[in-house]
Amino acid sequence: MINLANRVQTLTPSTTLAITAKANELKAQGVDVIGLGAGEPDYNTPENILEAAYQSMKDGKTKYTPAGGLPALKEAIINKLQRDQGLSYSPKEVMVGIGAKHVLYTLFQVLLNEGDEVIIPIPYWVSYPEQVKLAQGVPVYIEATASQEYKISPLQLREAITDRTKAVILNTPSNPTGMIYSKEELEALAEVCREFDILIVSDEIYEKLIYGDVKHTSIATLSKDAKKRTILINGVSKSHSMTGWRIGYAAADANLIKAMTDLASHSTSNPVTTSQYAAIEAYNGPQDAVEEMRQAFEERLDVIFPKLQAIPGFTVIRPQGAFYLLPDVSEAATKTGYASVDDFVTALLTEANVAVIPGSGFGANSTIRLSYATSLETLTEAVERIHQFVTSKW
């Protein structure tokens, strides 16, 4: 038996894995399981991006690049941030990494000393707490309830801050809640961060997936002070259906970016060269496909949301962005005879053959997460199965 390092002793595997493994097991036995766990768009990467990647390979652009990304990709990102957010960054303030996930990992590694606290709103994206802990930091949770639309208040933030607080993570639009902070809400939170001099990690990976008339605001746009203390995280995974290409970036203070780049130079080296050329096209080329995908997600949401609302014991807020629904199913679980939502989720899989993610993985035990990044036909069938399962046991 090999003794593993202390830092991985408490590392919990992604919660999605357990349910996915069970779902695959059933599928292998020939059971018709519908999976609603997907964390990625169900479209292929747009053709122009594929072409650009292929062309770069044929042109022999298959070697190492600078660790923090190709100058041309940094320029494309800088232009994107200017075009979409009106934000100005220099190349020294941008670092490209292997997906937003690894960029965040690198960030916490260069930012945190042992015991430094990072405030994480619940429900959270599963990797935030683990990444903070891997950097010897301490996650400090704030619970954002359904009654506050899963968004933290300035007062809650203020109360969570201690003299060890280094940063707060804001994810808007949010995975798993789909909620979006308004400009006014962000202004109030930025003011607290200014007052207590803490950093803001702003994860904007779902920026392009927004429904109805809400708008995405990057907290970095609110003032000079807010920009200075924000580490803006984004990437092409969700916007351009490029999850497998692994390109994400951070835009922030030049010193911080230099440290992150130095760490990358000794850990990953550059993100895959071909993916970088693909990402240049993603940002510089036509954006029609981004909007087409957004519209398709919104159409699915329009169909599926009322159907989910109609399930007895399900309480669900209409999400404003991303591609997840997070119903509170505690009543349905109790009324159908399950001791916990986790047990309800297991029964949904084994009896109704629908795989969803239990909210416990996001710190939200009374919820389940359903992804609508799948065809409308599949979604409709899945929700019908859930509805029938609940009513038959009620």
Residue 374 CB, nearest distance to ligand PLP (Å)? 15
Position 175 contacts ligand PLP (CB under 6 A): yes
Residue 171's H or E segment, with its range, is strand 165-171
Position 211 contacts ligand PLP (CB under 6 A): no
Residues in the interface with ligand PLP (CB under 6 A) total 13
- Which DSSP symbol is given to 311? S
Tokens 């202004």: give the residue.
187
Position 129 contacts ligand PLP (CB under 6 A): no
Rounded Cα distance, 141 and 120, in Å: 5
CB closer to ligand PLP out of 125 and 283: 125
Position 361 contacts ligand PLP (CB under 6 A): no
Position 39 contacts ligand PLP (CB under 6 A): yes
Residue 335 CB, nearest distance to ligand PLP (Å)? 31
Position 222 contacts ligand PLP (CB under 6 A): no
Position 207 contacts ligand PLP (CB under 6 A): no
Q: In a 3-state reduction of DSSP, which class is residue 87? A: coil
Closest Cα partner for 235 from 265, 274, 207? 207
Q: Would you state the structure tokens that stand for residue 66, as one six-digit string?
A: 């600078």
Position 125 contacts ligand PLP (CB under 6 A): yes
Q: Which range of residues in 20-28, 96-104, 220-228, 356-364 is near ligand PLP by CB under 6 A?
A: 96-104
Residue 89 CB, nearest distance to ligand PLP (Å)? 18
Q: Would you state the structure tokens that stand for residue 128, as one six-digit string?
A: 């935030």
What does R_g of the chain's alpha carbons equal in angstroms? 21
- Taking phi first (over 0 means left), then psi (-120 to 50 degrees means alpha), and beta for anything else, what does residue 126 get? alpha
How much of the chain is helix, strand and coil, in % rounded to 5?
Answer: 50, 15, 40
Position 41 contacts ligand PLP (CB under 6 A): no
Q: Which of residues 184-203 bind ligand PLP (CB under 6 A)?
A: 203
Q: State how far the alpha carbon of 26 is from the alpha carbons of 30, 39, 370, in Å.
A: 7, 20, 19
Q: Would you state the structure tokens that stand for residue 214, as one six-digit string?
A: 């809400």
CA torsion 378-381-383-387 (nearest 10°) is: -170
Residue 175 CB, nearest distance to ligand PLP (Å)? 4
Q: Which range of residues in 24-32, 93-101, 143-151, 189-197 is near ligand PLP by CB under 6 A?
A: 93-101
Position 204 contacts ligand PLP (CB under 6 A): no
Q: Site map for ligand PLP, 97-116, x if CB under 6 A?
A: --xxx---------------
Rounded Cα distance, 18 and 3, in Å: 24
Q: Would you state the structure tokens that stand for residue 272, as one six-digit string?
A: 């895959």
Position 319 contacts ligand PLP (CB under 6 A): no
CB closer to ligand PLP out of 101 and 216: 101
Residue 37 CB, nearest distance to ligand PLP (Å)? 11
Q: Site map for ligand PLP, 224-263, x if CB under 6 A?
A: -----------x-x-----x----x---------------
CB closer to ligand PLP out of 209 and 317: 209
- Which DSSP symbol is given to 328? B
Residue 321 CB, nearest distance to ligand PLP (Å)? 11
Task: Check if the beta carbon of residue 332 is closer than 8 Å to that of residue 313.
Answer: yes
Bridge partner residues of 232 (DSSP): 202, 251
Q: Which of residues 372-391 bind ligand PLP (CB under 6 A)?
A: none
Tokens 């945190």: give the residue.
112
Q: Residue with the closest Cβ to ligand PLP?
A: 99
Rounded Cα distance, 201 and 169, in Å: 5
Binding footprint of ligand PLP on the chain (CB under 6 A): 39, 99-101, 125, 171, 175, 203, 205, 235, 237, 243, 248
